Structure 1
Amino acid sequence: MGGDPILCLNIVGFPKCLPIEILSKILNGSASKVKEAGAIVIGGHSIQDNEPKFGLSVVGKVNPEFVYKNYGAKIGDKLVLTKKLGVGSIITAIKGEICSDQAYNEAVKYMTTLNKYAYEASKSVKVNACTDITGFSLMGHGYEMAYGSKVSLHFDKNKIPIIEECVEYVKDGFVPEGTYSNKRYLNGKVYCECEEWFEDILFEPQTSGGLLFAVGTECLDKFKENLDSKDVFYEVVGEVKELSNKYIYVK
């Protein structure tokens, strides 16, 4: 991580049965975010498919001296998370046609917020490790950081931010299948002192999730100032400690 995008190609799979206007909205929405990220769309590839699919192939540049790696966290580092959790369960509720407008709008807000601004806020501080929180969940990507750094990550369950509207859906069983896959993979690696519904959110896949930074305590205040100046949501959710029986602790 730590690169800047330059060029993008659209990759589209689209069925005949859907109005072409839907595809136009998808492409226009993507183009607006590509522009916001500072890149341009130069073309793409499309095929007919039974299900609509869309993505981007991105070409960018990165200074090899300033690559952000998902390992390298040091004992004493503070953990900073830049988006709330809960998007996965809200998407599941949307598919189940029970999602409220408020929950929908909150999820869309986070999914359409670029991590560009959190990254820019971090440029002037020493980041020891960084990972995005996506399909493998906060616990899964946190485990990758802990394992690669040979440390344990200790999360304060009262500090982990969640989208309030998702709680009801999780309690009602609207949990993405990937949650259970993540739990199976991380069995024995994570220790949680929390209710089952909260644990489900911790292991839930996130779409366009935030960044998890490990930064030294001497840099924390400056980093928080930078995030505030760019109006980036964040929460200090834990700290890095010496490796013990588990790679992740949530208490």
Structure 2
Amino acid sequence: MNTTTPPRLTSLSHGGGCGCKIAPGVLSEILKSTAAMPIPPQLLVGIETADDAAVYQLNDEQALIATTDFFMPIVDDPYDFGRIAATNAISDVYAMGGTPIMALALVGMPINVLPAATIGRILEGGQSVCREAGIPIAGGHTIDSVEPIYGLVALGLVHPSRVRRNADARAGDRLVLGKPLGVGVYSAALKKEQLDAEGYAHMIANTTKLNTPGPALAQLPGVHALTDVTGFGLAGHALELARGANCRVKLDWSAVPLLPGVRELASQGFVTGASGRNWQGYGSEVQLGASVGELERALLTDPQTSGGLLVSCDAASVPDVLAVFRRHGFDDAAEIGEILPAGQGARLLVD
């Protein structure tokens, strides 16, 4: 019998969670030629605005949401890794205003390194989240991989009139963020075994909380745009809103919610490499106020795994948006900024 202790999951991955994403500048270069593909009229949302999912209209009452997300381990516990990856993948359906209907599992595992029991726990974690979301895992695909990889293809439905893109923000809108920031900082500390039990508990609670307010938010007439904050950080996904609507975004940094202890951990140097790559990719479009220093910049670009919904809505709808979040248990949701008309200079202003 083999009694060798299996390696830490995070030791097998060169980057964990949504910090695995290709840097935004590199991704833009890779994808720049794909926009020339023919687009059928039924494709309501494609790749043109870097939205969270594709949306294809089936009939007058239904549109299909299709998305996929997978990554290497962000934590060492296999069950928690599966839960986080599944929550993150399903989030993109909610971010389009839709309701998930089923998922397919994407599994790549180093089968000569990880015991079958460990791999099984990863899959069990993903299944537990799909049960919570009320959907089956109806199939999938597995490969023998050098690094552990797990995620889902997630499918959902939405009424065509309730699709909420990331490109439809309007000047004068307010921005509301559903979850606090800091998952990347937590993951950097965890990888160096410097995250305590309380911090780990906050990390798991945040990353396994399904973004269920999405469909209810999409039913509010004053909600114009929706996205979720993931690997490009708050700054990167706010910039996607700005570019898509040809507007500018202004963030009030003092209003942005943070996970407990994140500021202190970041000040000790627990910052992911993806944070720096994010800034390299889009920093030229960001103007930081005098009170926003290097620490704040690291948190603005911190890659979020299974992050919160970012809502652009008219000012009168802010109380209703916050009420939806509260009903679903998102007590940290906060108004964090506004959409400004197009102008000269940076697209994202942070004060």
Same fold (TM over 0.5): yes
* Corresponding residue for residue 214 of structure 1: 312
The one of 199, 204, 220 equivalent to 1:103 is 199
Aligned to 1:147: 243
Question: What letter matches 2:296 in structure 1?
Answer: F
The alpha carbon displacement at 1:45 in A equals 1.8
Q: Counterpart of 2:334? A: 235
Deviation at 1:61, TM superposition (A): 2.2
Partner of 2:256: 160
1:78–1:239 contact (8 Å) kept in structure 2: yes
CA distance in structure 2 between the partners assigned to 1:222 and 1:152 by the alignment: 24
Asked if 1:112 is matched to 2:208, the reply is: yes
The more displaced of 9-18 and 127-136 is: 9-18
Q: Distance in 1 between matches of 2:327 and 2:99?
A: 21
Q: Deviations over 1:45-71 (max 9, x none)?
A: 222222211011122223222111001
Q: Which amino acid aligns with 2:164?
A: Y
Query: Deviations along 1:128-162, whole A, 9 cap, x unmatched?
Result: 11111001111011001011111111111110011
Deviations 1:99-150 (A, max 9, x none): 111111111111000112x214414312111111001111011001011111
Q: Across the two proteins, how many residue pairs are aligned to each other?
A: 250
Q: 1:122 aligns with which of 214, 217, 234?
A: 217
Q: 2 CA distance for matches of 1:157 and 1:220?
A: 18
Q: How much does 1:169 deviate?
A: 2.2
One-letter amino acid of the counterpart of residue 252, structure 2: D
Structure 1 residue 248 corresponds to structure 2 residue 343: no
Residue from 109, 116, 122 that aligns with 1:14: 109
Distance 2:347 2:151 in 1: 33
Could you say which residue in structure 1 is the equivalent of 2:149?
A: 53
Q: How far, CA to CA, are the matches of 1:219 and 1:160 in structure 2?
A: 19
2:335 corresponds to which letter in structure 1? V
Q: Which has the higher contact order (CA 8 A, sep 6+)?
A: 1
CA distance in 1, matches of 2:158, 2:323: 25
Q: Tell which deviates more after alignment, 214-223 or 196-205.
A: 214-223
1:225 CA drift (Å): 2.1
Contact 1:121-1:230 within 8 A present in 2 as well: no
AA in 2 matched with 1:249: L
Q: Tell me the TM-score normalised to structure 1 length.
A: 0.95
Amino acid at match of 1:149: A
**C-alpha separation between the residues in 2 aligned to 1:4 and 1:121?**
10
The list of structure 1 runs, each at least 4 consecutive aligned residues, that deviate by more than 6 angstroms after superposition, is none
Residue 81 of structure 2 corresponds to none
Q: 5+ unaligned residues in a row in structure 2: which ranges?
A: 1-95
Give 1:33 deviation, angstroms: 0.9
- The equivalent of 2:190 in structure 1 is 94
Match of 1:4 among 79, 99, 121: 99
Q: 1:120 to 1:67 in 2, by over 3 A?
A: closer
Cα-Cα RMSD: 1.4
- AA in 1 matched with 2:192: G
- TM-score relative to the length of structure 2: 0.68
Per the TM alignment, residue 215 of structure 1 is displaced from its structure 2 partner at its CA by: 0.6
Bigger Cα displacement from structure 2, 123-132 vs 106-115? 123-132
Q: Is the 8 A contact 1:121 1:227 kept in 2?
A: no
Whichever residue aligns with residue 208 of structure 1, its letter is S
Is residue 173–residue 315 contact of structure 2 (8 Å, CA) maintained in 1?
Answer: yes
Aligned letter for 2:210? Answer: L
